[in-house]
Amino acid sequence: MPNLKLTYFDIHGGRGEPARLAMFIGGVAFEDDRISFQEFGANRDRYPFKRVPLLTIDGVDLSQGNTINRYVAKLAGLYPTDALEAAYCDEVMDAVEDIVSQQVVTMSIKDEEEKKAAREALAEGPIALYLRQLQGMLEARGGEYFADSRLTVADLKAMVWVRGLRAGILDYVPTDLADELAPKLVEHLARVLAHPKVAEYYARFS
């Protein structure tokens, strides 16, 4: 097994969380390098594309969140071997990445009224669309998991996003939006959080 270090913010969510969860669930040893936003700002130029997460594999850096997710999920046994099921897994991860990228754009808005308008438009348009579409994908694939009829990294990625929305990480986006528009995703969230290893992971921080 390679020597792994995952560098990401010291938060319980975001783009680095699915990889952390996947490695913990799969028993893959890794250094959990948690950095502050201040540390990131001071060292931003050191990261490829000036972003995290960053996975260091035997001293070699690997960037891009979903690339990292696929790599560690394969090590953890949380990525499908069937080509179509793998594509289903990727589709969900890429969809979540799309909407997260749109959310991140609003985080740099300084004017509060402008931010409020942008977030409300985001909630009514893109977030609502992605919630409904992801729920449809979940239902089309059996209703419990997004791919392979079992827990995969796609479930972790979707869970982290829905969990964040319901926790209120975005001001002016209703915390009950997922409950109203995509109740099956909320059930999925509860299902993933109830997984013994996921529950064990979060219990370590309570």
Predicted pLDDT at 123: 97
Running DSSP on this structure, what letter comes out for residue 145?
-
Domain 4-78 CATH assignment equals 3.40.50.300 = no
Tokens 């001071």, residue located? 42
CA 204, 184, 88, 52 dihedral sign is negative
Q: Which two tokens stand for residue 20?
A: 């952390």
Show the low-confidence residues of the chain (pLDDT under 50): none
Residue identified by tokens 């796609």 is: 154
Q: How many CA atoms lie within 13 A of 108 on its CB side?
A: 4
Under 8 Å between Cβ of 170 and 106 = yes
Sequence-ordered list of residues with C-beta below 8 angstroms from that of 61, at least 6 positions apart, any chain: 48, 54, 55
- The CATH 1.20.1050.10 domain(s) of the chain lie at 83-195
Considering the chain, tell me which residue range(s) the CATH 3.40.30.10 domain(s) occupy: 4-78
pLDDT digits (tens, 9 = 90+) for 83-92: 999 999 999 9
- As a whole number of angstroms, the distance between CA 12 and CA 202 comes to 9
Position 206 scores a pLDDT of 81
Quick one: DSSP state of residue 127?
Answer: I
For the domain made up of 83-195, give the CATH fold.
Glutathione S-transferase Yfyf (Class Pi); Chain A, domain 2 (1.20.1050)
E-state strands within 36-180: 54-57, 60-62
